[in-house]
Structure 1
Amino acid sequence: MKGRFWPKARLGDVTCVMGTNGVGKTSLLRAISGTHPRSSGDVTFDGKPLGQMNAHKMAQMGVGYVPQGRDIFPLLTVRENLQTGFSCLPKSEHFIPDEIYQLFPVLKEMQTRRGGDLSGGQQQQLAIARALITKPKLLLLDEPTEGIQPNIIQHIGEVIRLLRDRGDMAIVLVEQYFDFAFDLADRIVVLRRGEVIENAAKQDIAREQLLSIVSV
């Protein structure tokens, strides 16, 4: 990623990555998560350069990824979708924590239903919950509000705040919904054509100034 220095994603912070379509936001998350190889650059995690690690190894290291489009398994039940997160955990941790259903009560109600039968908003909640099963230190969220009804957008925002305020994970949020992203952000990074053109703590940039930068 060219341009201004990419900031550290810190525990207890939400870093929002903004920019118009096609500037490289999803590619950035895919590179960090190991789902797409990097042609250059380094990823440092817990102070250690990781080199080229695949997605499974990155998940074992503590990187949780919720991709754009959710990528749940439509023929598996909600419970079975959640259990796929066990693959990067030791056998002693192969259980669904109560907190998952506390964060997303609808998933407990629908745990025997197939993922493909859920609404888009319910699938998004399932995708986030599945990532949390892996107990990430870094949670990557790619467009979590896309195509979702307003009440579930509000709920997802509340969950992100709760996770942030716990202080035990860093969150990187890619989001086109400006108000949602700006409200949650502790730090804001703006991309344009694969280049970092803005990198600032939220308190150091005015909302109107940021909106004008993102809209170009």
Structure 2
Amino acid sequence: MAASSHLADNLALLEVETAALLRTASTLDEVSVREGSLCEGWSRAHVLSHLARNADALGNLVHWAVTGEPTPMYASPEARDADIEDGARRPLSAILADLEASAARFAAAAPALAGGPEAAEVEMRGGVRVSGGSLPTLRLREVVFHHVDLHAGYGFADADAGFVRRSVDHAVGRLHAPDLSLTLRSREGGEWTVGGGGQEVTGTDAALLTWLARGVDLGLSSDRPVPAPPPWG
């Protein structure tokens, strides 16, 4: 069955963003891959190992949506963490090969979500229920956000503009910050209200997303210091 335009578009964009991630990862060496990332407590090797395991974990949910057979993302939270830690200790060549192979496995499996599996409900870790059709979107978000986290020359300004705008919408929608009262204005014409509005913060979509998702306020302007957002977690 043909994929819906939403599913097909996300799979196409995921292919583009995965290729960009692999290009950036290929520029790292054994020294730089051990250096810190934007994810607190994680090196770039941790980020890349997490991305590989996330591809397989979401692939498990693809299997669940397609077959109806409940398949958890990870064997346990402890197994997830251990796999990332163990993976980060490997030589760079093994990390890169795993990153590419796991991405390819997800890319090969995800088109089977077309049709009925798009509407099938599956359960993420933490008990959150999502539709099968949302899995490529979730993988796309992981790829782009953690590509930024590598802190290796790629930022949200390099990602697809439509994805960045949708991600700002998503980030504002998930904010739980009763102490924040802001009006966010993007130079591309977007506007979002946090709390009751109030202090105006202006920047590009990419700069606003960088602040919302990672607490970095470079490229933003306001008449007073920009407050820290709550942790993304």
What TM-score results when the alignment is normalised by the length of structure 2?
0.29
Greater per-residue strand proportion: 1
Greater per-residue helix proportion: 2
Task: Flag the structure with more relative contact order, 1 or 2, with Cα contacts below 8 A and sequence separation at least 6.
Answer: 1
